[in-house]
Amino acid sequence: MSKTDGEGSSSENVVWHSGEVSRTEREAMLGQRAGTVWFTGLSGSGKSTIAVEIERRLATAGRLCYRLDGDNLRHGLNGDLGFTESDRTENIRRTGEVCRLLVDAGVIVLASFVSPFRADRESVRDMHVAAGMPFLEVYVEVPIEVAEQRDPKGLYRKARAGEIRGFTGIDQPYESPDRPELVLPTASSSVEASAESVVELLRVQGLIGPA
Ligand code: ADP
């Protein structure tokens, strides 16, 4: 991993200390190539459900992956952040850094975050590209009417009732990806079919070997 702190950052007088074991070595131990699969889409689109299914399949195949889930990280690392635009940006920036650490450790990361702003997702992509790490953006696409009907956490109902402010798709925008590596239309594809498409993408990109 390279040092990427920008000029003027509070860490400008901190010197990067390199280790003696490389990511390539760790990947060889694990028999895989590490990278981040970034799921973006409306709340209720199916990001977490599909990531859980992929994690199960990869674990069964002996591959080390780790799920980062927006809701889960907000219980801990990002517990101080809300849902304003600037807090959402910081939420994604921190998460991107965690992805980078995990990828450096050799792990295949499955990150499920609404991540409504294109620029924030692009920053995470740039961070990966700068470190020579794969970043695969997966757009979990669903019409808002379908997500609202599913409403697995009852959040759309609360947003419509005005009990939640700044809810993506209701009173905050969602900016869909321009060039995602994969689109999963979950109103018409099953969880199993979506999971299989992602596993196939991992094969094509060389993160895992043939079935
Ligand atoms: P998100 O993580 O995007 O907020 P969740 O995975 O928490 O979404 O919720 C999606 C809900 O939609 C779940 O209750 C899931 O069972 C349901 N669902 C129905 N059909 C699908 C599908 N084809 N793909 C993914 N989820 C689906």
Report pLDDT for 71. Answer: 85
Residue 208 in contact with ligand 1 by CB distance below 6 A: no
Q: What's the number of domains the chain is made of?
A: 1
pLDDT beyond 70 at 36: yes
DSSP strand E in 51-180: where? Answer: 65-69, 108-112, 135-141
- Indicate which atom in ligand 1 lies nearest the CA of residue 190: 23
Q: Whose C-alpha lies nearest to ligand 1, atom 18? A: 46
The pLDDT tens digits of the residues spanning 178-196 come to 999 999 999 999 999 999 9
Is the residue at 24 inside a domain?
Answer: no
- Indicate which atom in ligand 1 lies nearest the CA of residue 150: 12
pLDDT beyond 60 at 75: yes
Is the residue at 131 inside a domain?
Answer: yes
> From CA 5, how far away is CA 24, in angstroms rounded?
23
What 3-state class would DSSP assign to 109? strand
Find the mean pLDDT for residues 129-156.
Answer: 97
- Which of 2-6, 82-86, 113-117, 164-168 is predicted with the least confidence, judged by mean pLDDT? 2-6
Q: What amino acid positions are annotated as catalytic residues?
A: 115
Is the residue at 62 inside a domain?
Answer: yes
Residue 115 in contact with ligand 1 by CB distance below 6 A: no
pLDDT beyond 70 at 197: yes
Average pLDDT over all residues of the chain: 93
Domain residues for the domain of 136 are 30-204
pLDDT beyond 60 at 1: no
Is the residue at 78 inside a domain?
Answer: yes
* Beta-sheet strand order (sheet of 182-185): 65-69, 108-112, 35-40, 135-141, 182-185
Q: Which distant-in-sequence residues (6+ apart) come within 8 Å of 120 by Cβ? A: 88, 89, 92, 93
Report pLDDT for 2. Answer: 47
Is the residue at 11 inside a domain?
Answer: no
What 3-state class would DSSP assign to 32? coil
Whether the CB-CB separation of 147 and 43 falls below 8 Å is answered with yes
CA–centroid distance, residue 54 to ligand 1 (Å) = 14
Residue 46 in contact with ligand 1 by CB distance below 6 A: yes
Report pLDDT for 4. Answer: 47
Report pLDDT for 9. Answer: 63
pLDDT beyond 60 at 8: no
Q: Which of 112, 114, 110, 113 is nearest to 102 (CA)?
A: 110
For the domain that residue 132 is a member of, what is the CATH number? 3.40.50.300
Is the residue at 106 inside a domain?
Answer: yes
Is the residue at 14 inside a domain?
Answer: no
> From CA 83, how far away is CA 69, in angstroms rounded?
15
% of the chain beyond a pLDDT of 90: 85
C-alpha distances in angstroms, 125 versus 98, 109, 177, 187? 13, 13, 12, 27
Is the residue at 153 inside a domain?
Answer: yes
Which of the two residues, 2 and 58, has the higher pLDDT score? Answer: 58
Residue 45 in contact with ligand 1 by CB distance below 6 A: yes
